[in-house]
Amino acid sequence: MPTASLDDLDAFAAIARHGSFRRAATERGVSASTLSQNLRDLETRLGVRLINRTTRSVALTEAGAALLARLQPALGEISAALGEARSAQAEPAGTLRINAPEPAAELVLAPLLPEFLAAYPRVTLEIITETSFVDIVAKGFDAGVRWGEHLAQDMVAVSLGPPQRYVCAAAPELVDRLGAPEHPRDLLEKPGLRFRFPSGAEPPWEFERQGEVLRISPTGPLVTSNREVMIRAALSGLGFVVSFDAYLEPYVATGQLVTVLGDWCEPFPGPFLYYPSARQAPSALRAFVDFVQARRRRQGW
């Protein structure tokens, strides 16, 4: 079965349509000699002459006219399909899959969703929460979210939000009974509520003041991988807790928790969206990056 490249077929159709190698070459942005070679290659593959040409005229052969009649509708369909593809790129569409740890998904991504999805109704977002680090390319994700210290060097990174803070808090009655710590090391003598990742890792509590960083591993009556359980335990007066201020602020505002060691809880950069540095990123990902950057400029963080 003879084969022919789409480029050669399109060159043939252009020559037939214009009745001139020069005008067809101008339309396609190539030289007349290149177009002539395209036609020769096509005729060689098909084993038939398609166009009779002299120094003064170009005319279709019977085989050429028959091919053109069948070819023109197909080329029209191909052109329309390519136009739709370009249009889809102009109007972002498709599924955007993002892998993110739970705090980033809840505190940073979730507030963005209503405005973004209203602006891009043809985009579907898939946000998969996962604490452990994954190869986003191997797992089929378009992008991931992590804090700066865990970003790979070969990724493009875009800040997703303003700085964040951890705070240390406890129920007022517990602070009244045991006293407020004056230094992070004082927490080693008080009950702490510890968080454990599904991997089994228990991150230390990290405090920072004027460039001094201190990490401690408290002990206490509860270890859990469920943040809600940990906060409820703190509300019940079982121990001190360290978590994102956005999780604890509602309870601090009502007086159910009080914060301690505020001068040791300095802000740090918020999470970043990261993705491979490919030239042709999916339109939905490009739209999300543009949306985040516009929001940053608007809000000034």
pTM tops 0.75: no
What pLDDT, on the 0 to 100 scale, is given for residue 20?
86
The class of domain 6-90 in CATH terms is mainly alpha
The class of domain 166-264 in CATH terms is alpha beta
CATH 3.40.190.10 segments of the chain: 94-163+273-299, 166-264
94: part of which helix (H) or strand (E)? strand 94-100
What pLDDT, on the 0 to 100 scale, is given for residue 131?
84
- The answer to whether 28 touches 22, Cβ cutoff 8 Å, is no
What pLDDT, on the 0 to 100 scale, is given for residue 149?
66
β-sheet bridge partners, residue 125 = 96
What pLDDT, on the 0 to 100 scale, is given for residue 75?
83
Residue 57: burial class (beta carbons within 10 Å; 0-12, 13-18, 19+): exposed
Q: How distant is the alpha carbon of residue 186 from its chain centre?
A: 42
- The answer to whether 145 touches 271, Cβ cutoff 8 Å, is yes
Tens digits of pLDDT across the chain (301 residues): 456 788 888 889 889 888 888 888 877 777 888 888 999 998 998 889 999 987 777 899 999 899 999 988 888 788 767 666 655 556 899 999 999 999 999 999 999 999 999 999 999 999 999 888 888 988 999 999 999 766 766 788 899 999 999 999 999 999 999 999 999 999 999 999 999 988 888 999 999 999 899 999 999 999 999 999 999 999 999 999 999 999 999 999 999 999 999 999 999 999 999 998 755 678 999 999 999 999 988 888 7
- Give the strand pairing for 155-159 and 272-276: antiparallel
Q: Which residues make Cβ contacts (< 8 Å) with residue 10, sequence separation at least 6? A: 28, 75
Whole-Å CA distances, 53 to 21, 49, 122, 228: 10, 10, 50, 81
Q: How far apart are CA 205 and CA 203, in angstroms?
A: 7
DSSP-derived letter for residue 121 is: T
| CATH 3.30.70.20 correct for 94-163+273-299 | no
What pLDDT, on the 0 to 100 scale, is given for residue 184?
97
Q: How far apart are CA 91 and CA 191, in angstroms?
A: 54
Query: 3-class SS at 31?
Result: coil
* DSSP labels, 160-214: -SS-B-EEEEE-HHHHHHH---SSGGGGGGS-BEEE--TTS--PPEEEEETTEEE
Residue 76 structure tokens: 């029209």
- The answer to whether 87 touches 74, Cβ cutoff 8 Å, is no
Q: How far apart are CA 212 and CA 208, in angstroms?
A: 5
46: part of which helix (H) or strand (E)? helix 32-46
Q: How distant is the alpha carbon of residue 190 from its chain centre?
A: 42
Q: How far apart are CA 52 and CA 69, in angstroms?
A: 17
Which residues in 160-191 are b (16+ Cβ under 10 Å) and which e? Answer: bbeebebbbbbbeebbeebebbeebebbeebb
What pLDDT, on the 0 to 100 scale, is given for residue 36?
87
What pLDDT, on the 0 to 100 scale, is given for residue 187?
97
What pLDDT, on the 0 to 100 scale, is given for residue 207?
97
What pLDDT, on the 0 to 100 scale, is given for residue 1?
47
